[in-house]
């Protein structure tokens, strides 16, 4: 498998071979698959394409994409100004970036 890694702000998306067996459906919010909400702006890393499927495995999100899929975020690529990140068909694991702060490792705020 070709190693594919896509980063958009605090979200890292890695192509994987398969989805774990013990997953649960990941619900859409307003018709979109939300990968992460911005901590300060409320904007979201989101997929709007209807063919995309998403699953939860613990805190991880897995994506099953049948076609090329657009990943949007208002701060990183406003629709009117920039292009979205494009995900090729396949299966992906979504990883939320972490950072070290003096006394703790915390999830990166976007």
Element (H, E) at 54: strand 53-57
What is d(CA 94, CA 79) in angstroms, rounded to the nearest whole number?
Answer: 22
**Per-residue pLDDT reduced to its tens digit, 40-56:** 666 788 898 999 999 99
Task: Enumerate residues 6+ apart whose C-beta is below 8 A from 19.
Answer: 55, 57, 62, 64, 91
Are 73 and 43 spatial neighbours (Cβ–Cβ below 8 Å)?
yes
Q: What is the pLDDT of residues 79-107, one digit of tens each?
A: 555 677 889 999 999 987 665 566 666 66
Q: Is the pTM above the cut of 0.85? A: no
Structural domain boundaries in the chain = 5-107
């Amino acid at each position: 498998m070709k190693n594919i890694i896509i980063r958009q702000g605090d979200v890292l998306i890695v192509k994987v071979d398969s989805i774990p067996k013990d997953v649960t459906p990941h619900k859409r919010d307003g018709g979109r698959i939300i990968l992460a909400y911005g901590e300060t702006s409320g904007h979201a890393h989101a997929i709007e394409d209807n063919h995309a499927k998403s699953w939860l495995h613990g805190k991880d999100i897995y994506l099953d994409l049948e076609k090329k899929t657009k990943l949007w975020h208002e701060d990183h690529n406003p629709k009117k100004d920039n292009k979205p990140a494009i995900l090729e068909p396949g299966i992906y694991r979504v990883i939320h970036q972490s950072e070290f702060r003096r006394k703790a490792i915390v999830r990166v705020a976007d």
